[in-house]
Amino acid sequence: MSKPSRRKFLKNSTLAAATAFGGSFFIVPRHVLGGKSSDGSRIIAPSDKLNIAAVGCGGKADVNIRLAYNKGSDNFVALCDVDDRQAKKFRAQFPNAPYFQDYREMFDKAGKTFDAVIVSTPDHMHAPIAMAAMQMGKHVYVEKPLTHDIYEARMLTEAAQKYKVVTQMGNQGSSGDATRIIETAIQNKIIGHVHTVYCWTNRPVWPQGVKSPRERGESQPIPPEVNWPLWLGTAPTRDYHEAYMPTRWRGYWDFGTGALGDMGCHFMDVPFRALKLKYPTSVECSVGSVYADFFKEAFYDDSCPPSSAIHLTFPSDDKKVKEIKFSWFDGGIRPQLPEGVEYNDVFREIDGGILFIGTKGMLTGGLFGNDPKLLPADKFSGKELPTPEKPLVEGKTEGHQQQWVKACKQGFGAYTSSSFDQSGPLTETVLMGNLATRSYLAREGGKFTGRKKLLWDGDNMKITNFDYANQFVKRQYNGGYTL
């Protein structure tokens, strides 16, 4: 007998397989096999491991890397940190992953080995690193706040669509059950038409409202493990001092975004998505004062103030509500307790909380909106919060990193809780508070000219009634960095 041709053999094998499965053909989806999608973006088969590069190996990176690695379900193939001390743990865990101090060198030399990048650096370096990664077609996970400046947030939001990559901001509460429960309750009008929102936090829990080493004229020798020029990155040059790193950089304007940047993306995210907010139309604020001596107010322009109260106004899509008043408090300041509710029902967590006020009642929650409750308690006795309409995330808040990893394997368009189209506008809103704060502290000719309600043109990213404030929309980069 003559041997069958290869084409005939494959045809017979396919027919036999179809017969074995009841005469039906099974078409395997492209995302199961990997390859490229119709728009050219890469699709990784879920059975494959995602190859990840980490920029930043200490602090919050300890959580991000651990949960993305997921006990080995995925790979870390390159590591980067400007401080060798911070990288010690993961260099030991991933000895085969090349290590760099400069992310640009890592992208250049090891870029072909990874599919995605996690950015866990101080705030002032988020945008240039994430942008460079996206321009290479890499999926990105960026710690909160997404960026240091409003302009950067807008640019990253647009770039995610342009380069067709999967994105996620590191506000893990957006993957929690409580966020989805509250979103459903608010949109189903359980407490009526919401007109007022309060968010508050106990942060800062690091020095703010203090004279910086630069203002004191102090400096220290640079530790041999630290590449200080790379750590400064986009920020203006200054001498090294341990007061800035690690972590305490949050309280200095050149590097961090204060209490708002640290916690605003956690607390404000819940009402931002529940009320489908976008750009505010106005912002005003007041901040805590610092006195160097009797009746001698001190102005430490290098650091964020010790406390602040931010008041935003948003247009409302609800025909029964003209506009939404949204207030933020930090540094231990809290909103006034509404009538008819108990103190411990509202102020339950040391980290802070959220309070929605509607025409039929109130809804409160803690960090990430956790443990949501309807108030007044006697009015809503026996009333349960609705089942979330959106699917819950596997692993809840601790599944935030793996949700992104799995979406990266599916390719552009796969859902993540805090993709840049969601977290970009949220970050812009959070940073509006810092723009107002810096304007409030501005002094021109001995007068505080920025102490007013600032009017915001969100589409054009511009304050329309105080031009001085617009310098805080977009800063100038030092060190040759670009977006």
- Give the closest residue to 175 by CA, choosing from 392, 406, 434, 445: 392
Three-state secondary structure readout of the chain:
CCCCCHHHHHHHHHHHHHHHCCCCCCCCCHHHHCEECCCCCEECCCCCCCEEEEECCCCCHHHHHHHHHHHHCCEEEEEECCEHHHHHHHHHHCCCCCEECCHHHHHHHHHHHCCEEEECCCHHHHHHHHHHHHHCCCEEEECCCCCCCHHHHHHHHHHHHHHCCCEEECCHHHHCHHHHHHHHHHHCCCCCCCCEEEEEECCCCCCCCCCCHHHHCCCCCCCCCECHHHHHCCCCCCCCCCCCCCCHHHHECCCCCHHHHHHHHHHCHHHHHHCCCCCCCEEEEEECCEEEECCEEECCCCECCCCEEEEEEEECCCCCCCEEEEEEEECCCCCCCCCCCCHHHHCCCCCEEEEEECCCCEEEECHHHCCCEEECCCCCCCCCCCCCCCCCCCCHHHHHHHHHHHHHHHCCCCCCCCCHHHHHHHHHHHHHHHHHHHHHCCCECCECCCCCCEEEECCCCEECCCHHHHHHCCCCCCCCCCC
For 247-261, give one letter per residue: b (16+ CB within 10 A) or e.
ebbbbbbbbbbbbbb
The rounded distance, in Å, linking the Cα atoms of 46 and 30 is 11
Domains and CATH numbers, the chain: 46-173 (3.40.50.720), 177-389+420-472 (3.30.360.10)
Residue 66 CA from chain centroid, whole number = 18
> What is the pLDDT at residue 26?
44
Instruction: Dig out the tokens for 81 from the structure.
Output: 């940190």
Q: How many CB atoms lie within 10 A of CB 280?
A: 22
Task: Give the tens place of pLDDT for each residue, 238-293.
Answer: 999 999 999 999 999 999 999 999 999 999 999 999 999 999 999 999 999 999 99
Q: What parts of the chain have a pLDDT lower than 50?
A: 1-32
The rounded distance, in Å, linking the Cα atoms of 355 and 196 is 8
> What is the pLDDT at residue 446?
85
C-alpha dist (Å) from residue 349 to 181, 186, 253, 402: 19, 22, 28, 27
Rg (the chain; Cα; Å): 25
Task: Give the tens place of pLDDT for each residue, 301-322.
Answer: 999 999 999 999 999 999 999 9
CB of 322 within 8 A of CB of 345?
no
The rounded distance, in Å, linking the Cα atoms of 194 and 189 is 8
pTM exceeds 0.85 for this model = yes
Q: Give the contacts of 387 (CB within 8 A, at least 6 positions apart).
A: 181, 184
CB of 278 within 8 A of CB of 458?
yes
Instruction: Dig out the tokens for 238 from the structure.
Output: 């200054």
Residue 333 CA from chain centroid, whole number = 23
> What is the pLDDT at residue 7?
45
- Give the closest residue to 97 by CA, choosing from 129, 138, 65: 65
Place of tokens 């031009």: 467
Q: Give the contacts of 130 (CB within 8 A, at least 6 positions apart).
A: 117, 119, 140, 142, 156
C-alpha dist (Å) from residue 426 to 123, 169, 198, 358: 15, 10, 16, 22
Instruction: Dig out the tokens for 481 from the structure.
Output: 């960095």
The rounded distance, in Å, linking the Cα atoms of 473 and 365 is 31
